[in-house]
């Protein structure tokens, strides 16, 4: 496999730095691929823009920062506006359907999902939205097995929170699978312009 670039973007406090690390560990440590992981953040611990980049390859990764995205997850409108121009033509754009209302034109595949709502309502704990993201990104990138994603999550989250995080991960798998089935069924979710 050649270089595959994943960017998780949003705002501080959404847990995307940890989510990126878990995706990288699932792919790199448990999945055995070459991987790098970088973050970029502002001075704010909460709010402010935040992104984490996971670059995956069969060969050692030269440059760890994303330049042409294969997969972009955006949890804020600002993140979507900033980074979607870097998506490849056949890339995947995953947005939170409540936080991102305007999707710029492009030939990428669009995946609108109720990520934050799933965490807040279904799981009754908004802070686990990042684990929902791990599930979605892991499935849609096709780079990590469910088993490796589970291992990576459980190795990272604090004791006593494993169950809720495991459920959040499963919820992410569920959202991703529903979208994939829709796509396979011919529903026009492959948006172009």
Partner 1 sequence: MATSTANSIELLAGNTACAKAAIAAGCRFFAGYPISPSSEIAEKLARLLPEVGGRFIQMEDEIASLAAVIGASLAGKKAMTATSGPGFSLMQEHIGYAAYAEVPCVIVDVMRGGPSTGLPTSPSQGDVMQARWGTHGDHPSIALAPASPKEFYELTVRAFNLAERLRTPVTLLCDEVVAHMYEKVDMAALAKLPIENRKKPTGAPGRHLAYAPGEDGVPVMAPFGDGYRYHVTGLAHDERGYPTQNPAVIAATQRRLHDKIEWQRRDIVQFETVDCNDAEVVVFAYGIVSAAARQALRLARAQGIRAGLFRAITLWPSPTEEIAALAEQVDRIVVAEMNLGQMLGEVQRAAGNAKRIDTCLKADGETITPEEILAVLKAGRETHV
Catalog residues that contact partner 1 under the rule CB under 8 A: 21, 24-25, 28-30, 34-43, 61-65, 67, 152, 155-156
The pair of three-digit structure tokens given for residue 43, joined into one six-digit string: 């001075």
| Residue nearer to partner 1 on the CB measure, 30 or 166 | 30
| Residue nearer to partner 1 on the CB measure, 39 or 77 | 39
| Residue nearer to partner 1 on the CB measure, 43 or 85 | 43
**Strand segments (E) across 42-181:** 49-57, 69-74, 87-96, 109-113
CA 143 → CA 136, 149, 166, 170, distances in Å?
11, 10, 19, 17
| Residue nearer to partner 1 on the CB measure, 42 or 104 | 42
| Residue nearer to partner 1 on the CB measure, 48 or 142 | 48
The pair of three-digit structure tokens given for residue 61, joined into one six-digit string: 């990764």
Nearest distance from residue 109's CB to partner 1, in Å?
Answer: 24
CA 190 to chain centre: 18
Nearest distance from residue 23's CB to partner 1, in Å?
Answer: 11
The pair of three-digit structure tokens given for residue 5, joined into one six-digit string: 């670039």
Nearest distance from residue 97's CB to partner 1, in Å?
Answer: 30
Angle, helices 16-25 vs 129-141, to 10°: value is: 40
Nearest distance from residue 43's CB to partner 1, in Å?
Answer: 6
Q: Which among 123, 122, 97 is positioned nearest to 112, based on CA atoms?
A: 97
């Amino acid at each position: 496999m050649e270089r595959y670039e994943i960017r998780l973007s949003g705002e501080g406090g959404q847990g995307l730095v940890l989510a990126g690390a878990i995706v990288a560990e699932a792919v790199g440590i448990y999945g055995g691929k070459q991987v790098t992981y970088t973050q970029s953040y502002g001075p704010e611990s909460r709010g402010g823009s935040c992104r984490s980049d996971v670059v995956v390859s069969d060969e050692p990764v030269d440059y760890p920062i994303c330049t042409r995205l294969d997969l972009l997850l955006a949890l804020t409108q600002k993140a979507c506006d900033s980074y979607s121009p870097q998506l490849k033509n056949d890339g995947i754009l995953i947005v939170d359907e409540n936080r991102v209302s305007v999707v710029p034109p492009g030939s990428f595949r669009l995946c609108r999902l109720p990520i934050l709502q799933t965490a807040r309502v279904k799981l009754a704990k908004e802070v686990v939205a990042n684990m929902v993201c791990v599930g979605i990104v892991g499935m849609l990138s096709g780079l990590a097995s469910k088993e490796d994603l589970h291992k990576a999550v459980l190795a990272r989250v604090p004791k006593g929170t494993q169950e809720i995080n495991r459920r959040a991960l499963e919820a992410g798998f569920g959202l991703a699978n529903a979208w994939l089935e829709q796509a396979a069924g011919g529903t026009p979710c492959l948006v172009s312009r």
